[in-house]
Amino acid sequence: MAGLADEVIVLRLTALRRPSAQRIVVPLLVLASGLMIILGKIDQVLFESLRVSVTDAAEPLLDVLSRPVSSIENLGDRIKDMANTYQDNLRLQAENRRLLLWQRTALTLASENAQLRELLKLTPEGSASFVTARVIANSGGAYVRNLLMNAGSQDGVARGQAAITGDGLVGRIYEVGTRSARLLLITDLNSRVPVVVEPSRQRAILAGDNSDRPCLLYLDPAAALKSGDRVVTSGEGGIFPPGLPVGVVDADVRGPPRIDTYVRLSQLEYVRIVDYGLAGELPNPVTAGSSTIRRAAPITAVKSNRY
């Protein structure tokens, strides 16, 4: 019992011994934090170079740390895969038969498309080059939806480039360091992507709100959307090329229709960062735009209030 009493006294003494300097330091630091929030809000460029250099410096560490995490996950996946081999095999065989049919259709359409383009003398879209990068940090949550990638300007990544996977659109690059880049997901609060709802060619803006399912804004009120309608990028604004698959509509919700994205954004490991030759249309707060502007973009429907 005496021991406990001693400990209580020790605690109180430490509390008393708290140097008076600390009493000034804590409010000062709180004040500094508050000031940083306000300054960062007023001037978005202020901390951007600091952010890029700190991220670049931390890239090797984050890259190394993210590997064991992903290997553990991969091990789990592998065990699950082995257990499901038989079912998977049956499913894949069926899928393969179906895809072969589609392939034939696609080849026919591709040649027909080429002929029609030839007839119309359509200006070809710029050819795309890409870099595949690994996700090394993911700061999810209700605050921001972005991913840190392990490729930067030295790998040819530039601001405004589109990030995709085999399934569809992921987002775009908005911060680039020498060896790291930050990717704004289409679910982020600041993401606005011009899209088209396919069967009706209805145009809309896909707006993220930090939830898993972004919503469609500025739709024609008369538009009758059905759940399951396919949504692709419209190419307006010149950030993304037209026709990148985004997701399917879920119209059975309160408020604006939501989109179930094709890409499982929370489970990304590798992302393809594509240069469609369109980058540079973004309002660029840090450096002068890249030199790859190929066509004028009348509308830039990307909300630029923070990034």
Partner 1 sequence: MPLGRQTASAAPVDSIAARMTPTVTTILAALLALQPVRLAGYAALPPSILLMAVYHWTIYRPDLLPVLALFAIGVAYDLLSGRPIGATPLLLLLLRAAVLRCRPWFINRSFLFVWSGFALFTVVAIAGSWALLSALAVQFVGLDGSVFGAALTISLFPVLSFLLGRVQRVMIGLG
Give the residue, chosen from 125, 126, 144, 304, that forms a contact with partner 1 under the rule CB under 8 A. Answer: 144
Residue 277 and residue 240: Cα distance in Å, rounded?
10
Residue 22 and residue 270: Cα distance in Å, rounded?
46
Token code pair at residue 270: 């590798």
Least distance CB 134 / partner 1 (angstroms): 9
Q: Which stretch binds partner 1 (CB under 8 A): 11-19, 78-86, 121-129, 156-164?
A: 11-19
Residue 58 and residue 247: Cα distance in Å, rounded?
34
Least distance CB 80 / partner 1 (angstroms): 13
Least distance CB 4 / partner 1 (angstroms): 6
Is there binding between residue 4 and partner 1 (CB under 8 A)? Answer: yes
C-beta closer to partner 1: residue 158 or 265: 265
Count CB atoms within 10 A of the CB of residue 51.
14
Is there binding between residue 143 and partner 1 (CB under 8 A)? Answer: yes
C-alpha count within 13 angstroms, C-beta hemisphere, residue 66: 19
C-beta closer to partner 1: residue 39 or 90: 39
Site for partner 1 in 207-266 (CB under 8 A): 209-212, 264-266
The residue behind tokens 């998977």 is: 88
Residue 171 and residue 221: Cα distance in Å, rounded?
27
| Of 205, 207, 156, 167, residue with least CA distance to 184 | 207
Is there binding between residue 40 and partner 1 (CB under 8 A)? Answer: yes
Query: What mask, x for binding partner 1 by CB under 8 A, covers residues 50 to 89?
Result: xx--xx--x--xx--xx--xx--x----------------
Total number of residues that touch partner 1 (CB under 8 A): 62
State whether residue 61 is helix, strand or coil. helix
C-beta closer to partner 1: residue 163 or 268: 268
Is there binding between residue 181 and partner 1 (CB under 8 A)? Answer: no
Least distance CB 101 / partner 1 (angstroms): 31
Burial code (b: 16+ CB inside 10 Å, e: under 16) for 135-165 equals: bbbbeeeeeebbbbbbbbbebebbbbbbbbb
Is there binding between residue 148 and partner 1 (CB under 8 A)? Answer: yes
Degrees to nearest 5, angle at CA 276 with 228 and 66: 75
Degrees to nearest 5, angle at CA 198 with 122 and 254: 150
Site for partner 1 in 120-139 (CB under 8 A): 135-139
Note the residues at the interface with partner 1 (CB under 8 A).
4, 7-8, 10-12, 14-15, 22, 25-26, 29-30, 32-38, 40-41, 47, 50-51, 54-55, 58, 61-62, 65-66, 69-70, 73, 135-148, 175, 182, 189, 209-212, 264-269
